[in-house]
Amino acid sequence: MEDGKELPVKQEFSESTTVGIDVGISAWSSFIIKLEYKADWFGKTILRIGHFEPSSKLCSVCGYYNSDLTLKDREWECPDCKTKHDRDINAAINIKKFSLYNQNFIVI
């Protein structure tokens, strides 16, 4: 900032993809470390699931896998059990099931 102007940070990151990726990875790592610290501080447990679990594409009622679901599809109906799903709510239910299953808990 020698001449009083802000540095073109956005431009620098767009020119170097690896720097942008490194910053993103670093930010997520820092967030996870802080989240784990706070969870431990308050006596809470963080449950994790695999990155590639089909949380949105899997019917949370019957387990049908909807391979045709795209990111723009916000709602869908299961062809097997006819349950209507909001993509985000369905994913949240599945994430809870995946995380508890990996910890040998029973989901009710």
Question: Which pairs count as long-range contacts for 64-68, CB under 8 Å and 24+ apart, including other chains?
Answer: none
Domain ranges of the chain: 7-44, 47-108
Q: CA–CA distance from 91 to each of 5, 76, 94 (Å)?
A: 44, 12, 5
pTM: 0.62
Entry field: residues in the chain = 108
pLDDT at 68: 92
Q: CA–CA distance from 3 to each of 11, 30, 91 (Å)?
A: 18, 33, 50
How do the pLDDT tens digits run along the chain, 108 residues long? Answer: 444 444 444 555 555 667 767 777 778 888 889 999 999 999 998 877 777 788 899 999 999 999 999 999 999 999 999 999 999 999 999 988 888 777 766 656
pLDDT at 52: 78
Query: At CA 48, angle to CA 47 and CA 49, rounded to 5?
Result: 135
42: helix, strand or coil: coil
